[in-house]
Structure 1
């Protein structure tokens, strides 16, 4: 049964702000995985990455966290499906940050023969246990006998085996002496031409452990040559005309030359032995020695350059030189034996191979450019390669749909700007692609700076109203200190103002967290405070008419599932004290203690995250009325436990709004533009829902509100992510 991929992320409290480098980490690992030596991201974990059906990134162009919470009720699908959310640092060049272009990295020598301008494309793994070489051989050095192929490995890799029905008539070298770690190594390589019989040997080379060439002979094939394969073999018709040596002569010479404990070394040596029609019991195959995942093999030319620093099989030469290839294979085996698997793994050959292919890709692109487009005397820019290029190198074709400027020269590109057209194309193509980026946009008219400024002010005003409660009436001589103490038990207070313009005094309390204001409304409305039976309510404004609906939806938000808010903590309590007290609660996973971002002091409240919603419900019953160090605690379901807490705090602090002294405000009716924007957002949410439903199970989906950064100011971005049908998230 196919395993289900799932996602784990500690995005709670202060750990919710993610940089683009961290997002880049996630995308690389999700798309490339351990197979290409990519590391797990540092801030989250994907389990069973190899079982992911694909990765889909939905980018909402020119939108920010501000848009998500301004239109929270309209984003019905997004808030119900994606448990994991994070604040995204705004970037001046979002696309470059996302795709990994333009981030300078220092040159790094990663092996003897290859200097990689950037090892960022497929990162060097700090955990060598994942390297296929370490998994096969372990980390410790071993003698050469540990690297000779077993009989089973020879059978599996099509080596000629003594007594095998397919090897009838083959010559056995009779080298049957027990091998030891001091047995002599010999490099062997053959070049073949295609004849009516099949592949026949036309040249043979044998070198000893010191690299001396012991045999380098042309061989007359038995049948007529159909194809000389000169480009690879270097053999021409003219070269073979005077040759008298036959295959049987070579077989006899090799049999005499090899000592009884000889170990033959070659690259895909099975092909050479099959062509020689010879059987030898002890071999080291460098194409298998330098192990890769999924049966793939490094080419000899690449290994010689990356490991030995040698150029072989140069294009200037006519075909391959078998003596050169035999010597290279022998030296590679000697290097592996002498240095050990750990040092070989640290060369990070997968990275070097990808870098080499990317360099070739760049050269090919440059060669295709018109001469007039080339910039003369421009120094090479050492930048982090676009990981879309990395995907193509590894055989994946990324799909890009949306905006015209996304064209990278690699991917399909849809020049349509209509969200409807983009969705139609996405529904057809995204399920067939392993990596897709889809851009939607509200339109340029909604990204103007004046529009964003107005939107920001509306959100800030509504947040302020939601954080504010009015309480009263009180007697004329009431004790303000008692009122502050009682309301402070619900959570941290930012401001408290006495309103005296009314017949009897009222108090306006502005809290720092949404849960505190809601607790005050729920627990103190109708209570006796400072000698008066008071009424507690929020401001009555047009924007607050849907406050109850919004509070209810925040409680049901999947991000707040299993999270409760606790208030009434004494300032003298330390985090260690709270950990000790709350450790009695069943299935407690995390404690988040909000702190003043300026003073660093905790805010007399905390959030508790439990492993299951039921555990959180049980904890609520226990905590309400619980006394901790002489202070009575109050608790309720969380409303803004994750990234939202910090954002609310920042918005609240930057608010220039002065609290009024009336309970009613006159407001302007919703403009046509605002109504149109709400409709567009609702449609956008619906389109994302349709696209999400079309995705295969086990698809990682990330929705990005990139944020904005300009001379006129910046707005943080927001990321939402989840794996479709992940058991740890709910489905729509």
Structure 2
């Protein structure tokens, strides 16, 4: 064995030199062409486990229960438990290990406050998602440990039986899923609507799904409010030579008025009228001439664009009607399945969720869970059956033990307990983050002439992205504009496109405001562009409502397209005039960007800068008003927070911990599913959402990171 192979366990590749990647992507076309050619030539020699999170919800928030879904599926595979509803794990049987690293006491806010310091975490993990604020027992929730519910004290001698009358028991409904989701008080109509992600989970027909190719798209473009009209829908079916087909449809308005009640003649030969369920007989259906296409046409005419449908098993009724909403994300998912050589999932298949924990899943395959934690932070998991717990005296010892023990176990949880910022400091950090992002998304442009066409200038700056405000500044010798964009990409695109250009005969300068919070802005933008989640994603401005259909028709031009993200206005539900396209590789993304920003499409765009989950997080933060010229001075408490991570300074601590986790990550074997979880923090001053990072380590990734 060669010396290099003895040390690393890998055979070195001869003649391969490390490629330097330029800081700026714009204007580096030759380097990028070499890079994407290299990426797309490297085809895997054998099947490897791989992840896709294109099914993530619009909010990108994943519940603790959904995390448990993935972990159980990673252990057992599809033969024993359902597939996770929010992501896809291909070739699960090729996984070698599962490692969950928990950074207790850290949140999404901490990650983005010290974004530049967490180099490996942002570059190695392509899949990032929001987590809700932590529960009372985070570990129990993500592993599926069921807590014993205490009903109440029973009389002595009756502990083995339950009372026959419900009045004798105090029932706690707080854990009921409906109460958990909607609360116990009256809620508004918009709170009760299914999200797009829930529609996917419960198998509603969305055009682009593999079994919805011939469905008629229903364009729902209206704004859903609490006053939107409700329509009750019910369908009856019969059994034909081609399966279940529609025989009757009834549509009732919310006042009780029946607006549609039609018998429908199936297109194929009927083999069973299912009379006992529907009441439909051969005699009743013989004279009927109405066909499915007639019903579809009537429905499209009757239903207003903001209609809300209500029904029992509504997904099955909509499938019988063969109507669906256009959904490119579903199509991309199907294309990805085909590219991976897999059969598409049968969406009509309903699998009962097994009420088992990760520990029980491991036990069923003769494996144990390794749990590494500090002795002072041992939880209920520590004493659980089938869990090998190693209690350490410090975080340093946890790290040292992890590098030795983790490779010996199929499934490991490594928990570090880090001292969080004091609540008042976290609140200050949150304010500074909002202000910093606002300043990064703001540009000053000018000078302009005193008789400049403000309407034309407004249209010019809006062409780069959605604008929150445009202010004319007259304090300078010549007028300037202050333009605040909704997304960072819009501001950056305006700077790159207009700085130094001639506008209305004047050479203008376009720049960000210079404050202490934007001094590192250029570095941060470059690093955001290199973030693994952004690397294959492009941003486009100027898209219309028909862009999705147009893109679908021309999909052959865009190889490797995984998902189309079309943001909507939170208030009126209308589609905005910008979008994000996610591709499998950087090369595919760059090719598509060149096509879409060409003459035929008339769009403006660049490589993405904002991870998708960060959009929802930033939208959830209330806007900060800030008088011009106000300086934000770092609070003394931040400089004095030496207790953070038991190290000298928060920024240095974050950098050191990023490196430590990097060492642990490098020690993992190829084919390891690795999750880094920042559970979030909870206090009397408020809660901070968590963050999850996820990826499967393979040999090629190791070469890049090394």
Which TM-score band applies after superposition, normalised by the shorter structure?
Answer: 0.5 to 0.7
Distance 1:668 1:42, change over 3 A: closer
Q: For 2:556 and 2:689, how far apart are their aligned partners in 1?
A: 35
Matching residue of 1:368: none
Q: For 2:147 and 2:479, how far apart are their aligned partners in 1?
A: 60
Matching residue of 1:59: 102
State the SS of the aligned residue for 2:573.
coil
Distance 1:11 1:657, change over 3 A: farther
- Please say if 1:438 is aligned against 2:453: no
Q: CA deviation at 1:665?
A: 7.3
Preserved contact between residue 431 and residue 624 of structure 2 (Cα < 8 Å): no
- Please say if 1:689 is aligned against 2:657: no
State the SS of the aligned residue for 2:384.
coil
Q: CA deviation at 1:615?
A: 2.1
Distance 1:711 1:602, change over 3 A: farther
Q: CA deviation at 1:677?
A: 0.7
State the SS of the aligned residue for 1:46.
strand
Distance 1:536 1:397, change over 3 A: same
Q: For 2:589 and 2:94, how far apart are their aligned partners in 1?
A: 32
Gaps of 5+ in 2: 1-44, 150-176, 178-201, 204-349, 643-647
Preserved contact between residue 591 and residue 606 of structure 1 (Cα < 8 Å): yes
1:369-408 matches, within 5 Å, as: 386-392=357-363, 394-403=365-374, 404-406=377-379, 407-408=382-383
Q: For 2:76 and 2:583, how far apart are their aligned partners in 1?
A: 33
Regions of 4+ moved over 6 Å: 664-670, 726-730
Distance 1:53 1:583, change over 3 A: closer
Say which of 627, 639, 658 aligns to 1:671. 639
Q: For 1:582 and 1:85, how far apart are their aligned partners in 2?
A: 26
- Please say if 1:5 is aligned against 2:49: yes
Matching residue of 1:658: 626
Q: CA deviation at 1:464?
A: 1.0
Q: For 1:3 and 1:525, how far apart are their aligned partners in 2?
A: 48
Q: CA deviation at 1:574?
A: 5.4
Preserved contact between residue 11 and residue 86 of structure 1 (Cα < 8 Å): no
Distance 1:485 1:697, change over 3 A: same
Matching residue of 1:46: 89
Preserved contact between residue 725 and residue 731 of structure 1 (Cα < 8 Å): no
Q: CA deviation at 1:729?
A: 9.5
Q: CA deviation at 1:576?
A: 2.5
Q: For 2:676 and 2:392, how far apart are their aligned partners in 1?
A: 20
Preserved contact between residue 421 and residue 641 of structure 2 (Cα < 8 Å): no
After the TM superposition, which of the residue ranges 609-618 and 460-469 deviates more from structure 2?
609-618
Matching residue of 1:422: 398
Q: CA deviation at 1:74?
A: 0.6
Say which of 52, 57, 60 aligns to 1:16. 60
Q: For 1:42 and 1:676, how far apart are their aligned partners in 2?
A: 41
Preserved contact between residue 75 and residue 361 of structure 2 (Cα < 8 Å): no
- Count how many residue pairs are aligned between Structure 1 and Structure 2: 455
- Please say if 1:703 is aligned against 2:671: no
Q: CA deviation at 1:731?
A: 4.7
Q: For 1:28 and 1:7, how far apart are their aligned partners in 2?
A: 15
- Please say if 1:76 is aligned against 2:108: no
Preserved contact between residue 468 and residue 517 of structure 1 (Cα < 8 Å): yes
1:156-305 matches, within 5 Å, as: none
Q: For 1:387 and 1:715, how far apart are their aligned partners in 2?
A: 26
After the TM superposition, which of the residue ranges 667-676 and 430-439 deviates more from structure 2?
667-676
Matching residue of 2:287: none
Gaps of 5+ in 1: 106-119, 121-125, 128-345, 352-383
1:118-133 matches, within 5 Å, as: none
Preserved contact between residue 84 and residue 559 of structure 1 (Cα < 8 Å): yes
State the SS of the aligned residue for 2:626.
coil
Preserved contact between residue 482 and residue 530 of structure 1 (Cα < 8 Å): no
- Please say if 1:635 is aligned against 2:621: no
Q: For 2:46 and 2:600, how far apart are their aligned partners in 1?
A: 49
Q: For 1:58 and 1:473, how far apart are their aligned partners in 2?
A: 52
Say which of 553, 556, 559 aligns to 2:530. 556
1:562-581 matches, within 5 Å, as: 562-570=536-544, 573=546, 575-580=548-553
1:374-523 matches, within 5 Å, as: 386-392=357-363, 394-403=365-374, 404-406=377-379, 407-410=382-385, 411-416=387-392, 418-443=394-419, 446-523=420-497
Indicate the RMSD between aligned Cα atoms, in angstroms: 3.4
Q: CA deviation at 1:712?
A: 2.7
1:342-361 matches, within 5 Å, as: none
Distance 1:696 1:586, change over 3 A: closer
Preserved contact between residue 100 and residue 385 of structure 1 (Cα < 8 Å): yes
Q: CA deviation at 1:696?
A: 1.6
1:293-313 C-alpha deviation (Å, 9 max, x unpaired): xxxxxxxxxxxxxxxxxxxxx
Q: For 2:358 and 2:557, how far apart are their aligned partners in 1?
A: 47
Distance 1:83 1:556, change over 3 A: same
Distance 1:511 1:523, change over 3 A: same
State the SS of the aligned residue for 2:615.
helix
Q: CA deviation at 1:671?
A: 2.4
Q: CA deviation at 1:53?
A: 1.6
Q: CA deviation at 1:419?
A: 2.2
Matching residue of 2:573: 600
- Please say if 1:720 is aligned against 2:693: yes
Distance 1:668 1:535, change over 3 A: farther
Preserved contact between residue 11 and residue 85 of structure 1 (Cα < 8 Å): no
Q: For 2:497 and 2:107, how far apart are their aligned partners in 1?
A: 35
Distance 1:47 1:585, change over 3 A: closer
Q: CA deviation at 1:709?
A: 4.1
Preserved contact between residue 666 and residue 702 of structure 2 (Cα < 8 Å): no
- Please say if 1:87 is aligned against 2:130: yes
State the SS of the aligned residue for 2:617.
helix
Matching residue of 1:609: 582
State the SS of the aligned residue for 1:590.
strand
State the SS of the aligned residue for 2:587.
helix
Preserved contact between residue 116 and residue 524 of structure 2 (Cα < 8 Å): yes
Q: For 1:28 and 1:385, how far apart are their aligned partners in 2?
A: 9
Preserved contact between residue 511 and residue 517 of structure 1 (Cα < 8 Å): yes
State the SS of the aligned residue for 1:545.
coil
Distance 1:104 1:619, change over 3 A: farther
Q: CA deviation at 1:530?
A: 4.8
Q: For 2:77 and 2:56, how far apart are their aligned partners in 1?
A: 26
After the TM superposition, which of the residue ranges 74-83 and 575-584 deviates more from structure 2?
575-584
State the SS of the aligned residue for 1:701.
strand
Distance 1:587 1:428, change over 3 A: closer
Q: For 1:590 and 1:729, how far apart are their aligned partners in 2?
A: 26
Q: CA deviation at 1:472?
A: 1.4
Q: CA deviation at 1:524?
A: 1.0
TM-score (norm 2): 0.59
